[in-house]
Amino acid sequence: MKQATKLIHAGVEPDPSTGAIMTPIFQTSTFVQAGPGEHKGYEYARSQNPTRKALEGALAAIENGKYGLSFSSGVAATDAVIKLLSPGDEVICANDMYGGTYRLFTKIFEKFGIKFHSVNMQDASAIEPFINENTKLVWTETPTNPLMNICDIAALAHITKKHNILLCVDNTFATPYLQNPLDLGADIVMHSVTKYLGGHSDVIQGALVMNSPELHEKLYFIQKSCGAVPGPFDCFLVLRGIKTLHVRMRAHCENGELIAHYLRNHPKVKRVYWCGFSDHPNFEIAKKQMRGFGGMMSFELKDESVEAAKKVLKSTHLFALAESLGGVESLINHPATMTHASIPREERLKNGLSDGLIRLSVGIEDAEDLIADLENALK
């Protein structure tokens, strides 16, 4: 099945009781049983819900996986993966990952005896000196947030499999439309479904997709036991969002390319971070493992002061100043004080995330209008 067809039909069947082509919203907390243990596959909505089950099937299908699990947020999905571990276990993670992931790892799980090593994974072999008998997981995201670094998923998977270590890839920026980490050897794919999969800035949700039945069983037990599950209406919204992912992502990619080149040629812009430039350090890897370069990018002004950046951030009209990304509307963001504020400044600077960095989530509006908006702000 071709990708566009899969996105529209995956995991969705007409409702057997009515023939409804759209999955119903099963807004219920519990299910009546004919007798103790005699039920139709559903007992209690925290454990399972028909709307959520349809979404989880769709998530698995679009990532070319066997099992999908949905969570109340991307952070909740990440939390479930780390709960596979025990005190004394070690994790190798990307040094420039999303600030919320960094906060969860360092502020929550470190105090439970799990050790995290932050590594620049642009060269996959850089993780090898950190591998020891306690290493249980490698966590990466590609492209990274917000510096758009690219990690070679297949190369990382080759190393992790050799050492019997799990590899989890945050695929939020690329989406299944542009990249499928399971096909490249990853064990788990994580999504902040809030972003491109939902696509309309109206739902908070996360997801995990995997092929291993053992991993699925463990992660389902964590999902059911800890209870960080999305409601049926949120699942309905994401099922609807997935149906247009291919159409939206094409527009995000087209607009992203135009705006990345516009910014790069602007006299007031010092540097643009976008993985579609042919001189990007890992462009060949991006081209090999991705089917496009997306609508996420960051840039720095030649005037490196925070004041200059804030002036731009306050001067756009179509680019709304807000956290999050991946919706149909364009957003502008200041990572140092917003999405990555939880990372200590010295740590941010060490990894290349400057105080003046501006991040864009390029939406699907007309590109000429978006460029005019940026032009006005940069003046």
Rounded Cα gap, residues 270 and 305, in angstroms: 12
Where helices occur in 130-208 by DSSP H, the ranges are 153-162, 175-178
Pairing outcome for strands 188-192 and 206-210: antiparallel
The catalytic position among 6, 15, 46, 287 is 46
Residue 144 phi, psi dihedral angles, 5° rounding: -85, 160
**Helical axes 50-62 vs 232-242, angle rounded to 10°:** 30
Q: How many helices (H) and strands (E) does the chain have?
A: 13, 12
Cα separations in angstroms, 343 against 104, 187, 196, 202: 11, 27, 24, 27
The catalytic position among 67, 98, 177, 196 is 98
* Whether 170 is catalytic: yes
Pairing outcome for strands 320-321 and 67-71: unpaired
**Helical axes 245-264 vs 367-378, angle rounded to 10°:** 40
Residue type (1 letter), 297: M
- Exposure class string for 190-211: b at 16+ Cβ within 10 A, else e: bbbbbbbbbbebebbbbbbbbb
For residue 43, how many other CB atoms are within 10 A of its CB?
A: 14
The catalytic position among 79, 96, 170, 234 is 170
CB 245 within 8 A of CB 262: no
SS3 230: coil
* Whether 373 is catalytic: no
Active site residue ranges: 46, 98, 170, 195
